[in-house]
Amino acid sequence: MQVADLYIRVSTDEQTKGYSPRSQEAVLRDYCYAKNIEVRYVVFEDYTAKHFDRPEWKRLMALLRRQQNQSNLLLFTKWDRFSRNASDAYQMIGTLKKLGVEPQAIEQPLDLSVPENKMMLAIYLTAPEIENDRRGLNTKAGIRQARKEGRHTGKAVRGYINRTAENGRKYIAVNEPDATYMRWAFEQVGDGIYSSESILNRVREKGLNIDKNTFMLNLRNPVYCGLIKVAEHHDDPEHLVRGQHEPLISEELFWRVQKIMNSRKRFSQGTSIATPKDLILRGFLKCNKCTRNLTGSASKGNRSYSVYYHCRSGCGVRHRALDVNAAFIYELTQYIPRPGYPQLFVKSIVDAYNDQVTENKRYAFQIREKIAESNQKIERAKGLLLDGAITQAEHRKVKDEMSSTVVSLESHLRSLNVQKSTPNQVKILAEKAVRLLCELDKLFEMCNIEAKRLLIGTFFPEKLNYSEGRCRTQKVNRVAELIYLKNKELRAKKSGQKLLEKPLTARGWLMGLEPTTLGTTNQYSNQLSYNHRVF
């Protein structure tokens, strides 16, 4: 009497909840009953048939190796339940025969001892493989076309959620509060002050459950600024298209984040958000003897702890935190606008805003002209296609290139229209900002740790050095630098020094004692020269 093991397979876990597994088992048991075959084991598998790296199949093969000659048949309904890969299937059939087991599909029976039947076996095995490959190509083409139309495919990224409209069309929608957390993270990275890992720790504290790898990938994902990436395919290069979903951030912020992350990857890693209150400058100080950043720690004395900034290397640089912090506060006061200049700063800001609005209007007009020109090229290419002057592939290439150009130009145009404040509103904001600058030292003392470090990073984008009781830096914020220069100018006037608004040129025009006569061959003959030297 023959003994058989029954193998039942479906492709996905969802199919196990349907009727297919039970239907396969019923058909196989009826066949065994009719042929007087004893059923030993029934194996259920919910895995792909593209390969034999399947959990239940590996358990079955281990069982067959341990219990050889206890069964001589392996039954399944069709050959595509056994495998959808011809080369792997032939190899597995040989392995089973060595174990004394004959595989057989009851609905597609073949006597493999007859050579001609191997041709039918090849058809049974390759037909599902071809069907799989064709289905895969069609799926990829559909996904690519959906992305070219601006639709996000697959699982929504953090801050969005998958939805289905009433007409059955799938889309992604903003999902709070994750959207607010991701928007905050992009803004913090865009400031360029803190490290990405520090921002990740803080956003986790706010309530966003995300791992580091996913967080870093999300910061690179253009979906957040409303763009969809279409991958390269044959002659069609990779490009971005305008998405149909609502963006969380502006495109300007997204590209600024990419620039900052690329520069950090090559150079530095930013600094942390949180730090002990006595070590507020940790991460912003640079060692005077080496290129390392100074860290900080507390040293236990006889009665209390003393806090120091020190270098991690053996260079021996060590400064009392109280002295360094006091020197920094003094340095900060040098950027407080002196009396008389706040009003000038406000007026300059309003004038600069008005000039920028005028320039943006002119630039926006040029962008609209370029967009119209690109659309005209698309229409001309369409006309040439209808006339038979170009092929479909050439038309598609022109259309994709011009569409990508239009998307980029429209992005620039939207960034120009972001600010819609009136000059009066700008003046009110400028007055408020200047008032805060006038009390910069008091504001710094009142802030919490996070705000203080934000203020430090804003004013001093490069590291600080401490030496001879002073905090110095090679580069400061451009606005702070202008304030500092104006303050120096005021101090110079207070000391009685006379400053020239427009100093004389280094060499004056050569003027003669008498009027120059006509016909003079040498312009400089018989003339006095004046050289102005600035001491």
pLDDT at 496: 46
- In this prediction, residue 349 has a pLDDT band, given cuts at 50, 70 and 90, of confident
Closest CA to 100 of 127, 76, 69, 56: 69
Is residue 479 over pLDDT 70? no
Mean pLDDT of 319-334: 82
Q: For residue 266, what pLDDT is reported?
A: 42
Under DSSP, is residue 305 helix (H, G, I), strand (E, B) or coil? strand
What pLDDT score does 483 carry? 61
The residue whose two tokens read 């025009």 is 509
Average pLDDT value for residue range 165-178: 88
Identify the pLDDT of residue 484. Answer: 59
Task: Name the band, by pLDDT with cuts 50, 70 and 90, for residue 436.
Answer: confident
Residues 176-191 have a mean pLDDT of: 90
Number of other CB atoms surrounding residue 453 within 10 Å: 24
Averaged pLDDT for residues 413-422: 67
Question: What letter does residue 42 receive in the DSSP assignment?
Answer: E
Banded model confidence at residue 255, pLDDT cuts 50, 70, 90: confident
Q: What is the mean pLDDT of residues 245-257?
A: 88
- What mean pLDDT is predicted for residues 41-46? 90
251-266 and 178-191 are packed helices; what angle lies between their axes, rounded to 10 degrees?
60
Where is average pLDDT lowest: 180-184, 218-222, 312-316?
A: 312-316
- Is the pLDDT confidence value at 245 over 80? yes
Of 102-111, 256-265, 347-356, 388-397, minimum mean pLDDT range? 256-265
Q: Confidence class of residue 137 from pLDDT cuts 50, 70 and 90? A: confident
Residue 287: per-residue pLDDT: 83
Mean pLDDT of all residues in 390-414: 81
What is the mean predicted confidence (pLDDT) over 192-217? Answer: 86
pLDDT of residue 7: 92
Q: Measured between alpha carbons, how far is 247 from 452 in angstroms, rounded to an integer?
A: 31
Mean pLDDT of 121-125: 83
Pick from 71, 136, 130, 140: which is nearest to 103 by CA? 71
Nearest CA-CA partner of 307 in 289, 281, 270, 288:
281
**364-368 own/partner pairs: CB under 8 Å, 24+ apart:** 364/413, 364/416, 364/417, 367/409, 367/412, 367/413, 367/416, 368/413
Buried (b) or exposed (e) across 249-262, using 16+ Cβ within 10 A?
Answer: bbbbbbebbeebbe
- Rounded CA separation 391/385 (Å): 6
Q: Which two tokens stand for residue 197?
A: 């890992």
Q: Range with the lowest mean pLDDT among 131-140, 219-228, 454-463?
A: 454-463
Rounded to the nearest integer, the mean pLDDT of the chain is 78
**What share of the chain has pLDDT > 90, as a percent?**
12
At how many degrees (to 10) do helices 392-416 and 251-266 cross?
90
Q: 491-507: per-residue pLDDT in tens? A: 555 444 444 344 444 44
Residues in the chain: 535
Q: What is the pLDDT at residue 489?
A: 58
Q: What is the arithmetic mean of pLDDT over 169-184?
A: 91
Confidence of residue 528 (pLDDT cuts 50, 70, 90): very low
Say if residue 47's pLDDT is above 60: yes
The two structure tokens encoding residue 429: 């904001």
Calculate what percentage of the chain has a pLDDT beyond 70. Answer: 83
